[in-house]
DNA sequence: AAATTAAAATACCGAGCGGTATAAAAATGA
DNA sequence: TCATTTTTATACCGCTCGGTATTTTAATTT
């Protein structure tokens, strides 16, 4: 908004690499216990001083919100795109299951879903982060519901249930699968569970 | 083993009420964030001094293990009994679903299952507690598997899957439901989800 | 009554936490 | 050259944590 990214700053040039810090923090929260991971530890791992981190993100809540927003952009939005494709319900469902039971979307990303992890540890999050997670929840449910509605219109959704409930059901199963993966369960088993749980849908 | 419960102790008589402390701790862990609940807080709530608590339970790990053992005795064992009843698979399944989606088994117990909660926060538990949780996991899976096997023999289990996998599937669904309840979701919705997820079993 | 035993409560320990005051360092404009 | 601006790193604050050393209290045994 106000600052030109090229070079018309006055003071000492900043060396803090925001993206690097976010990468480190995202992986840390993704792999570890969100509630037990301290800011000090993030500083240590990213090689950034504590005041530097506070200037960039205000506080722990700010960092975590930035992390979940980044996760949304990098991981969740592609899934949402997938749900809007013109493929059949079954094809999209298979893609969804494959995505949910494999690593996030990058080279060496941890098992499970950071968003699911944050949902589960709601009570340990700051205000801003919790609000963002809540927003993502609503987006996910809406995306599932619209997908089901479109599939119903195409006659590809067989189960006798409201789109609202179907969305809740799909969300619950995907979250559960992500949770199991994060706990270290065998991805093949988790995938099989999802297949059975979705077998009556279409 | 060595001490007679009546009265042949020598020193100052103990006033610490072990059961009271366990009641307080169980409710605290059940309702709150296990990883964030401090021993200091348990002491405060139970009105017991910290050294008193350490004398009785050795350390935090000892207290948490005592709590989960108590939970097993009070809540989990009755469920295991239920799985061994002579009722039909459907009847038992309905009982299981009703149990899982209502309060634990007592008057004012919180939503969800303490065992499930501890499974989810494995990494934050001490050694002894984690070992006990692992033991309970194996017991639960074995109980489910034997239940399915007996139901198959009676021709009441319709789905085409191994008893091993069926047990894993049932366990995953029950855990997921408990998790949703603990997060505050509507028990009616959760029950409906379980019904759908179990609709193809028998 | 004196010695002994065990449980009680107070007060403390080192460590780590989220967060910040402070001052040195590195760039700019005059 | 020198003041100004901005970022940096060190060192610190108050607090809570899990766990314990210490002393007082209340009972039994001799």
Average pLDDT over residues B24-38: 96
Tell whether A13 is covered by a domain: no
Q: Which residues does chain A have within 8 Å of residue B193's beta carbon, measured at their own beta carbons?
A: 168-169, 172
Note the pLDDT of residue A10: 85
The nucleotide closest to A55 (CA, C1' atoms): D7
Is B155 near strand D, with its CB below 7 A from some atom of it?
A: no
Tell whether A39 is covered by a domain: yes
Q: Mutation test of the interface with chain A: which of B189, B196, B201, B202, choosing the one with the most A Cβ atoms within 10 A?
A: B196
Note the pLDDT of residue B5: 43
Tell whether B11 is covered by a domain: no
B181 CA to D30 C1' in angstroms comes to 61
Average pLDDT over residues B6-24: 85
Determine the residue of chain B that is closest to A172 in CA distance: B176
pLDDT band for position A166 (50/70/90)? very high
Write out which nucleotides of chain D lie closer than 7 A to a protein Cβ. 4-11, 16-22, 25-29
A7 CA to C30 C1' in angstroms comes to 19
Q: Which H/E stretch holds residue B174?
A: helix B163-182
Determine the residue of chain B that is closest to A164 in CA distance: B189
Tell whether A48 is covered by a domain: yes
Among B54, B73, B97, smallest CA distance to B193 is for: B97
Q: Which residues does chain A have within 8 Å of residue B122's beta carbon, measured at their own beta carbons?
A: 183
Are the C-beta atoms of residues A70 and A57 closer than 8 Å to each other? no
The nucleotide closest to A15 (CA, C1' atoms): D7
Note the pLDDT of residue A103: 63
pLDDT one-digit tens code per residue, A11-57: 788 899 999 999 999 999 999 999 999 999 999 999 999 999 999 99
- Can you give the CATH number for the domain in which A181 is found? 1.10.357.10
Contact A179 B179 (CB under 8 A): yes
Instruction: Judge whether residue B138 has pLDDT over 60.
Output: yes
Token output for A41: 């530890």
Q: Considering only A68-77, A108-117, A131-140, A174-183, which range has the smallest mean pLDDT?
A: A108-117
Instruction: Judge whether residue A3 has pLDDT over 80.
Output: no
| % chain B with pLDDT above 90 | 88
Instruction: Judge whether residue B6 has pLDDT over 60.
Output: no
Q: Which residues does chain B have within 8 Å of residue A36's beta carbon, measured at their own beta carbons?
A: 35, 123-124
Distance CA B102, CA B116 (A): 14
pLDDT one-digit tens code per residue, B157-168: 999 999 999 999
Is A7 near strand C, with its CB below 7 A from some atom of it?
A: yes
- Determine the protein residue whose CA lies at the shortest distance from the C1' of D21: B51
Note the pLDDT of residue B169: 98
B73 CA to D25 C1' in angstroms comes to 36
pLDDT band for position B108 (50/70/90)? low
Note the pLDDT of residue B4: 40
Average pLDDT over residues B66-76: 97
Average pLDDT value for chain A: 93
Who has greater pLDDT, B15 or B3? B15
> How many CB atoms are located within 10 Å of the residue B91 CB?
13
| % chain B with pLDDT above 70 | 93
Contact B183 A36 (CB under 8 A): no
pLDDT one-digit tens code per residue, B78-102: 999 999 999 999 999 999 999 999 8
Note the pLDDT of residue B142: 98
Note the pLDDT of residue B106: 47
Note the pLDDT of residue A201: 95
Where are the alpha helices (H) located in chain A, listed in sequence order? Answer: 18-31, 39-46, 50-57, 60-71, 77-83, 89-100, 114-120, 127-153, 163-182, 187-197
Note the pLDDT of residue A8: 59
Tell whether B12 is covered by a domain: no
Domain that holds residue B51: 18-197
Note the pLDDT of residue B13: 87
Average pLDDT value for chain B: 93
Instruction: Judge whether residue A7 has pLDDT over 60.
Output: no
Among A33, A10, A32, A112, smallest CA distance to A71 is for: A112
The nucleotide closest to A10 (CA, C1' atoms): C28
Average pLDDT over residues B38-60: 97
pLDDT band for position B2 (50/70/90)? very low
pLDDT one-digit tens code per residue, A86-131: 999 999 999 999 999 986 444 466 789 999 999 999 999 999 999 9
| % chain A with pLDDT above 90 | 87
Rg (Cα) of chain B, in Å, rounded? Answer: 19
Note the pLDDT of residue B8: 59
Tell whether A77 is covered by a domain: yes
Is A81 near strand C, with its CB below 7 A from some atom of it?
A: no
Q: Which H/E stretch holds residue B194?
A: helix B187-197
Crossing angle, helix A187-197 and helix A163-182, to 10 degrees?
170
Tell whether A12 is covered by a domain: no
Is A12 near strand D, with its CB below 7 A from some atom of it?
A: yes
A14 CA to C28 C1' in angstroms comes to 14
Is B6 near strand D, with its CB below 7 A from some atom of it?
A: no
The nucleotide closest to A58 (CA, C1' atoms): C19
Tell whether A73 is covered by a domain: yes
Contact B119 A183 (CB under 8 A): yes
The DSSP output letter for A5 is: T
Q: Per the structure, how many domains does chain A have?
A: 1
- Cβ burial, residue B181 (10 Å; 0-12/13-18/19+): buried
Note the pLDDT of residue B75: 96
B36 CA to D6 C1' in angstroms comes to 38
pLDDT band for position A135 (50/70/90)? very high
């Amino acid at each position: 908004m106000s600052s030109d990214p090229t070079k018309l700053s006055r003071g000492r040039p900043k060396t803090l690499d925001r993206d690097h810090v976010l990468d480190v923090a995202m992986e840390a929260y993704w792999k570890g216990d969100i509630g037990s991971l301290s800011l000090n530890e993030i500083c240590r791992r990213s090689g950034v001083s504590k005041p530097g981190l506070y200037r960039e993100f205000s506080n722990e809540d700010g960092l975590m919100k930035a992390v979940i927003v980044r996760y949304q952009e990098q991981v969740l939005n592609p899934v949402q795109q997938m749900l809007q494709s013109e493929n059949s319900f079954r094809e999209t469902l298979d893609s969804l299951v494959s995505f949910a039971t494999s690593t996030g979307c990058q080279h060496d990303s941890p098992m499970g879903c950071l968003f699911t992890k944050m949902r589960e540890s709601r009570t340990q999050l700051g205000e801003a982060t919790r609000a963002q997670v809540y927003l993502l929840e609503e987006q996910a449910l809406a995306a599932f519901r619209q997908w089901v509605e479109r599939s119903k219109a195409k006659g590809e959704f067989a189960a006798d249930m409201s789109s609202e409930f179907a969305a809740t059901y799909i969300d619950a199963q995907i979250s559960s699968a992500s949770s199991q993966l994060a706990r270290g369960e065998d991805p093949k088993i988790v995938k099989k569970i999802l297949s059975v749980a979705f077998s009556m849908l279409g």
